[in-house]
Structure 1
Amino acid sequence: MGRRKIEMKVVKDTGCRQVTFSKRRTGLFKKANELATLCGAEVGVVVFSPGGKPFSFGQPNVDTVADRFLKLESKSSRDKTTTTMSKSKKNSAAAEKLNHQLNERMKEFQDKKKRGEELDKEIMAGGKAVPEFIGDLGFGYLKKMKRTLQGFRKTVKERVGEIEASSTLLMLSKDCRD
């Protein structure tokens, strides 16, 4: 089937126009980011939606690029640009470090999950994980074990939430770089 050439004219349907704007805006910002990354250029793009809402993209940021374009930038602002670019490199290194840590934690999580499944299978099969006579453990010991397991469960849920949040942040960071 392939792509077909789209005639360049205003899209009449408001819903279609908004969808087209969103898709084209994303593509435009992606291309601007590629230009900035590949060529080391300072890029600024400002777009207003059909509804009048402004969207902007800038590398290192829109204000710096606009000031430079309008020749309002002084020597101190140029120093800020250099600082901003070095911060961008530091942020990239930090993101890589966080990504590495996330991958390690995800691997640990998968290993623990696999171990938990193995223990569940042993319990179901009547293996060594559970004493033959739970009644012999005593009610106090079982209550203490229950509290400990509930605390462990809460900790695991919190950790999973942290991992998911980190994963989301890394994906957003990666999307911003793309």
Structure 2
Amino acid sequence: MGRRKIEMKMVKDNSSRQVTFSKRRTGLFKKANELATLCGAEVAIVVFSPGGKPFSFGHPTVDSVSDRFLNQDQEVPNVKARAGSSKNAKVDRLNQQLVDVMKRLQAEKKKAQSLDQKAKKAKGPQNCQTQIDELSLHELEKLKGSLEELRENVKARVCEMEASFSLLLLAQKPIQEADMSVSKKAN
């Protein structure tokens, strides 16, 4: 379907508004995390849902960023000293891990969608020809070899079955002839 431009206006339906809020909030927090991670910025976001419930995101924490914002007149701490602290280093490392995991998750989702589409295509009976048309020369040669090997195996199995059937017929004939000879002697 793809993305389309959404007109910026208040969503009327309450349930749609809540869904829109949740999706936009997640995207907003993700972008704030990326800004903090990539640029080393201190970020704080406080958002209230349509129901009045507060949600917040802060790097390193909402409290530290809000305190710094409210106390701008006071001495600004040294940025390098803050970055060197073990707590901030741990938070930075965890944020980087989060970004990496989110990237892997998105890649896996795309992979799953691709596999789903391929599975849907493969279900139709006309798709066998389509799939053969999409094979490379090497893959076609490999398929040809496999089909020839299958044909030889089928021929060998047919010969084995014919031989077994013939032996069974031969094994049954002498018994019938012996029965006939016994019945002739009895007459």
TM-score range, shorter chain: 0.3 to 0.5
Decide which structure has the larger Cα Rg and report it. 2
TM-score calculated relative to the size of structure 1: 0.46
TM-score calculated relative to the size of structure 2: 0.44
